[in-house]
Each structure stands twice: as C-alpha cells, then as structure tokens.
Amino acid sequence: MSDLSIFPVTRRWPAADPGKLQLYSLPTPNGVKVSIMLEEVGVPYEPHLVDIGKNESWTPEYLSLNPNGKIPAIIDPDGPGGKPIALFESGAILIYLAEKTGKLLPADPALRYETIQWVFFQMAAVGPMFGQVGYFFKFAGKEIEDKRPLERYRAESQRLLGVLEERLTGRTWIMGDVYTIADVSLLGWVRNLIGFYGAGELVHYEKLKHVPAWLERGLARPAVQRGLEIPKRNPA
C-alpha cells in the first residue's frame, strides 16, 4: 500500500485508500475540470472537499500541496516511475491525466499541441475574464458605482465567446469530432457564466448558435454530469 504520509495535506484530509489518486477540490468551474476528467478516463480516485468558503485552501496543510492556495490539486500515488506525485493547476492536471491514461489528448503531435493551446486559452483568458464578470456582476463588485470595470470584462467575455463560436462552427467539439481535454477545460466555465453568474443576457449568449449546442452536448455526457457534483458540498 502506498504511503502518503510524506504529504502534510493528508493529516487534515486522510486518505481512506492511499492506493487511489487523491483529489482535493470543490465543484467550482476550475474544480470540476479535474473531477470530470477523472470520471471520463476512469482512474480510481478519492475526493476530498476543500471548503474555500471556510478558507481551508489557506491552511498550512493545503498550502504544503499548493502554495498558491487554490483548488484543485491531486496526489497520485502511482506517478511517473511508480512514485507518488503531487500536482496543482487544473490545466497541468488535465494534461497529466491525459498522458497517464492515453485518453482525451490526440497522439498526433500537431493535434496534441493544438489541443493544449485551447486548454491554455481557457486558463489564460476564459477563466480569468469570466471570473471577473462574476465578481462585478453578481458579487461585491456590483456595488461599485464606476461600471467601467464590469463593461471591460463583459466586452472581453463576449469577445471570447465569439472566439469559441467561430471555433465550433462546423465542429462537434473544440477539436472537431473528438472530445478532448480542451472541452473538459471549458465546459464548466461557460456553464457557470450563464448559470451561476446569471450573465447570459449580459454577454448576449442568446445570439450564439454553436456554443450553446456544444455546451448542451457536453453537459449530456454522464461523466460530466457526475463530475459536476464532485466532491459533494457540505450541507448549508
């Protein structure tokens, strides 16, 4: 049996089965990327809820795993060379799991890098911009009298949706007929923008054709449906 005691995070979130991959997360747009991926590729794992509302990601135990204090993060007891590996940053975890399992990432080198560039597009643009829209439209930022910040992020989010709309023209998935980690990285964020943030009308989502159809296809996948609810949130 794998010994994960070298990782301080396991003192706060003990592993019931140290032989399984350990997921430390919360079902946010970033968190569900990894839970969806794990459900898609079938790697046995054990989820641990890290309640960011209670600042659990800033505890010493969690910071020992991710010094940036963000979810998600993983410990894989069966990492490269059979040795345990700890990883944070959801995009890096998606690539790691894709390469570990040989799934959801094309083997052809050119297509592989094309897929990864769309994951980076989500990480560098979609996530930060949609997140700012959520702050300024739904949360504390809506109380700011100066509406220029909201307009800036609204306009950029609308532009990014336009990029996705163009990319999905004539395609079932981001990479064409093949569902990949590019789709996994983006589904939760688009869903959150129009759902949890309630910003669909703000960014004129109703004018899009291909993005809504892609989102509907993605959300219909059983693995996506399961991953969106993992880890289970604590009762209110």
Q: What is the pLDDT along the chain (236 residues), one digit of tens a residue?
A: 578 999 999 999 999 999 999 999 999 999 999 999 999 999 999 999 999 999 999 999 999 999 999 999 999 999 999 999 999 999 999 999 999 999 999 999 999 999 999 999 999 999 999 999 999 999 988 889 999 999 999 999 999 999 999 999 999 999 999 999 999 999 999 999 999 999 999 999 999 999 999 999 999 999 999 999 999 987 65
Single out the residue in 103, 123, 143 at which a domain terminates: 103
| Gap between the Cα atoms of 88 and 72, Å rounded | 6
- Is there a single domain that holds both residue 118 and residue 15? no
- Residue 165 in domain: yes
What is this structure's pTM? 0.95
Residue 13 is encoded by which pair of tokens?
Answer: 């979130």
Domain of 157 in residue numbering reads as 109-224
CATH number reported for the structural domain that contains residue 121 in this entry:
1.20.1050.10
Supply the DSSP symbol for 75.
E
Q: Which long-range contacts (CB under 8 A, 24 or more apart) does 212-218 make?
A: 213/168, 214/164, 214/168, 214/172, 214/173, 214/174, 214/183, 215/187, 215/190, 215/191, 217/172, 217/173, 218/183, 218/187
CATH number of the domain at 44, please.
Answer: 3.40.30.10
